[in-house]
Amino acid sequence: MIQKPKGTYDVYGEMGRKLRYVEQVFSALMDRYDYEYVATPLFEQSNLFHRSVGDSSDIVRKETYDFKDRGDRMMTLRPEGTAGVVRSYIENKMYGDIDLPKKLWYFGSMFRYERPQAGRYREFRQLGVEVLGSPDPMMDAEIISIPVNLFRLLGLEGVKVRINSLGDQESRNAYREALKDYFRPHLGELCHDCNERFETNPLRILDCKVDGNTELMKNAPKMEDYLNEESKKHFEKVKEYLDALNIVYEVNPNLVRGLDYYTHTVFEVEASVEGFGSQNVLCGGGRYDLLVETLDGPHTPAVGFALGIERLLTALDYEELQVGEEKELDIYVIPLSDEDKGYAIGLSQALRLSGFSVDVDSLNRSMKSNFKQADRKHSRFVMIIGESERENNLLTIKDNHTKQEYKVTIDEIIDFLDEHMDSCDCDDCHDREGE
């Protein structure tokens, strides 16, 4: 038997329902924030990620799925969403739109060759948001508010927001030099990767999973002491706007995030769910004012985030939160014999096009097991199609809530369903209304 590739999973059944629900809630939220949907290719020219995510990042150094296409071009399955969106922004000249800043959201698979474990996959799905064209710290706060409000809408309470500022380029350069001076005498104590990071991107040393919690790390120079006036002002404003939005946050001076392109604000949202384990960062993002220029676009300050769907769904499961309504069917159709099937599917098509959800028995079940099936599907009505129904165009329909049976002509069926679908006198519906 052929099995799925390591680190991937199939979406089906309950998982499919949950995934669609989260996507729908997010999409509706994005409409309220007035963001536009964007979809970019699952693979891009490898260069895009080398130049954006950065050659010094773990993602590009060790985790990309690279391949040569049949035309001998180096391609990479996207490991994250921002690079593709920025490429699209530049290539489609979105910067020329009247409607700026461009406020975009996306949803889709990302691919990283990581060591698979709980909450860490090789194909995983992200919801992401990018705002291109506004330098205003108000947008940093808006971006942070989006995942926070998504979690609120989904009922997920225990989340923590951590923020930091990496400052503008000048501040970052000054900090980089200070870190190098600090770590230089201690290179022998640092892991192999950190020794490489020392040369390529010393900020990353602070993010190291191996050396992360040592005294050496804790006593390292802090970014906030190297922020220039402009950067300090930006960060203060972000905090002020987060207060205005009633968002509780913690400043974590060692938060640097894994990608090379961040400037000013970086943030993470963590699920403080008991028993959740180490992969508890649900969402991360920040400002990337220099990335569009790095990719040959015009100067465009930008800010965004990406949120891992799998971890979000796990957090919802841990909190035992109901994700979406249980699926219900409007009408379950039972053709009594093969001769009745053509009529049954013709009628079902008409009902579906009129807005009702319909399923038709295709396994020639007995009447008893068909009624059981209708119950399993929580079908509101059951419709039986036999010879007499066909010949007289008079349908037999049973209301599964009230258990009442009706005879309705084909011309009146839509009106009948419209009338009965919303109102129900059965005890269950009464109880639900009273809740």
Sites of contact with ligand AMP (CB under 6 A): 80, 112, 114, 119-121, 124, 126, 258, 281-284, 306-308, 310-311
Strands (E), 94-209: 102-111, 123-132, 159-165
| Pick 159 or 347: Cβ nearer ligand AMP | 159
| Pick 112 or 234: Cβ nearer ligand AMP | 112
Least separation, in Å, of the C-beta of 308 and ligand AMP?
2
Torsion sign, CA atoms 136, 141, 146, 147: positive
Closest to 386 measured CA to CA, from 319, 434, 340, 323 = 340
Q: Which amino acid is at 154?
A: L
DSSP letter, residue 4: P
Say if residue 147 is preceded by a cis peptide, omega within 30 of 0: no
| Pick 115 or 368: Cβ nearer ligand AMP | 115
Count of CA atoms in the C-beta half-sphere (13 A) of 194: 21
Rounded distance, CA 242 to CA 370, Å? 56
Least separation, in Å, of the C-beta of 114 and ligand AMP?
5
Q: Which amino acid is at 385?
A: I
**Which residue, judged by CB position, is nearest to ligand AMP in the bound state?**
308
Least separation, in Å, of the C-beta of 119 and ligand AMP?
6
| Pick 283 or 413: Cβ nearer ligand AMP | 283
Count of CA atoms in the C-beta half-sphere (13 A) of 21: 18
Structure tokens at 318: 């841990």
Least separation, in Å, of the C-beta of 229 and ligand AMP?
29
| Pick 271 or 351: Cβ nearer ligand AMP | 271
| Pick 29 or 307: Cβ nearer ligand AMP | 307
Least separation, in Å, of the C-beta of 80 and ligand AMP?
5
Least separation, in Å, of the C-beta of 113 and ligand AMP?
9
The strand pair at 302-308 and 405-409 is best described as unpaired
